[in-house]
Amino acid sequence: CSRWEEEKKEDGVKWMQLEHRGPYFVPPYEPLPKDVQFYYDGKPLKLSLATEEIATFYAKMLDHEYTTKEIFQNNFFHDWRKEMTSEEQEIIKDLDKCDFGEIHKYFVDKNEARKALPKEEKQKLKEEADKIQEKYGYCILDGHREKIGNFKTEPPGLFRGRGEHPKMGMLKKRIMPEDVIINCSKDSKIPEPPEGHKWKEVRFDNTVTWLASWTENIQNTSKYIMLNPSSKLKGEKDWQKYEVARRLKDVVHTIRAQYRKDWKSKEIKKRQRAVALYFIDKLALRAGNEKEEGETADTVGCCSLRVEHIQLHPQLDGQEHVVEFDFLGKDSIRYYNKVSVEKPVFKNLQLFMKNKDPSDDLFEHLNTTFLNKHLQDLMDGLTAKVFRTYNASITLQEQLKALTNPEDNVAGKLLSYNRANRAVAILCNHQRSIPKTFARSMQVLQEKIDAKKKQVEEAQEEVKKAEDEFKDTKDAKAEVNVEKKKKLLKRLEEQLDRMNIQAMDKEENKQIALGTSKLNYLDPRITVAWCKKFGIPIEKIYNKTQREKFAWAIDMAGEDFEF
């Protein structure tokens, strides 16, 4: 049997044997050379080691937009001062008087020097990294040697967060062995902590799949060292996830009929659940768990929407019953959308909003536990998240059917694929900020296109000249020349065509992040089947890491696979 289908273990048990080396700890801080100085109020100031290290975190980020943000600056300065000696605290009282310029330049130069190393030096560094990967990057799980995903602890630095995170700039502390819980099997060789240190705890818990864990100091969340996505355990989990979403396909009509009926329910609680479910299904909104006050950014999902997050328009832009959404979702990414909804949904929303303040909950009778319990009753394993996976995958499959032209060349078909993927990313609201390098790289591409156009025009002239010559001489050699020139012209035209497609793709994609849906929401078998059907090499869509992660799908799916 294939490695995806080995014997099943008892419920809840994830492994029988787990052996590994523990995490790889980031090397200790290397002090700055004597001639690289920090200045305060125009005068050089020698910093204590701990203070200097934190100063380098800020200095490295000087050319980043983060360090221009007031909230980042304030959080950084507050945390930095906490780590200073009392003498330093007496002197350093104003961030504006701090000059990190020399330190910044030192790291920029160091980076450039590393890039400019001769090939054999680079090779040596790579071999050292490979040695670490060999030693720490693998574990033995039930007799299989499996790759570990992230075997290094995160280095200390300044917290960035996503979107406008209120904690940006705070100090991410160095992880020590004393912070780390090790998980392995009792009879295995238990990993040795680095010399002079000990682990926080060693446990033997085979109902979880992590190898080591610690709590990071900023959000107080647990971080884990897990297996690589290409491992059997992760592959199986991934496959199961899409199988659950495929089961939803068979009952989704019943579920939709049910929530439509519930829009008219006598119980307000049921009505709210039904409207929320309609949003989760139609708009692929996240469920939105309750959160601790003040712990994290003020972000919401469907169940936690407040009155201020939506506006109702009986008529708008030629459509009726329009709901205008505007809120910060996961990772502080803004969700903004105007959607025409069905009349009963609109009427219900008017009812839910009646006599409420902007900061009141829209669905005050609803929480994710109540919603997911209802979904579990409708179908085993169903949660709000499954709708996102289902709607994303089904959208990709339908868009691929609609957009792919079998007559197109590979570049044309890939454009269609990316457009189908974009439809999914838009559905899931996967945005990115326009890359810093976008304008420049677009300009470079445009210059290449212009140069290629010129080559095409010249080649057209050449073909015309060769044809005239052949007309005059009727000579066999001249005839061969015509064919040669035509072939060249065709090749140049194809290159130009490819470049134009590339430019179009790039422009359409500048604010959309395709990666998230590709890795997490789209059944890879849809893509594999499409590639096989149209003879597209799989590596045109999935890079090496992605091909490893989706090995199970590449094994399984034929060209006739239907999600």
> Which residues are identified as catalytic?
521
Query: Which SS3 state, helix, strand or coil, does residue 563 take?
Result: coil
The answer to whether the CB of 329 falls within 8 A of the CB of 291 is no
**Tell me, what DSSP letter sits at residue 175?**
P
Nearest to 24 by CA among 192, 217, 159, 196: 192
If you write DSSP's letter for every residue of 404-469 in order, what string do you get? --TTS-HHHHHHHHHHHHHHHHHHTT-B-PPPTTHHHHHHHHHHHHHHHHHHHHHHHHHHHHHHHH
Asked whether the beta carbons of 351 and 223 are under 8 A apart, the reply is no
For the stretch 510-521, what's the b/e string if a residue is b when 16 or more beta carbons lie within 10 angstroms of its beta carbon? Answer: eebbbebbbbeb
Four-CA torsion 413, 415, 420, 423, nearest 10 degrees:
-170
- How is residue 273 written in tokens? 């659940």
Beta strands in 52-150 (DSSP E): 98-99, 138-141, 144-147
Structure tokens given for 507: 């422009």
Strand pairing class (138-141; 144-147): antiparallel
The full 3-state SS of 260-328, as one line of letters, equals HHHCCCCCHHHHHHHHHHHHHHHHCCCCCCCCCCCCCCCCCCCCCCEHHHEEEEEEECCEEEEEEEEEE
What's the rounded Cα separation, in Å, for the pair 227 and 234?
A: 7
Distances (CA, A) of 83 to 51, 73, 285, 524: 6, 16, 42, 48
What does the alpha-carbon distance between residue 113 and residue 107 come to, in Å, rounded to a whole number? 10
Burial class (CB in 10 A: 0-12, 13-18, 19+), 250: exposed
CB of 170 closer than 8 Å to CB of 159:
yes
Count CB neighbours of 79 within 10 A: 19
Residue ranges with strand state E in 21-179:
39-40, 43-44, 98-99, 138-141, 144-147, 157-158, 171-172
Pairing of the two strands 39-40 and 144-147: unpaired
Indicate left, alpha or beta for 284 from its phi (over 0: left) and psi (-120 to 50: alpha).
Answer: left
Helix (H, G, I), strand (E, B) or coil at 166: coil
Pairing of strands 39-40, 98-99: antiparallel
Whether the CB-CB separation of 204 and 11 falls below 8 Å is answered with no
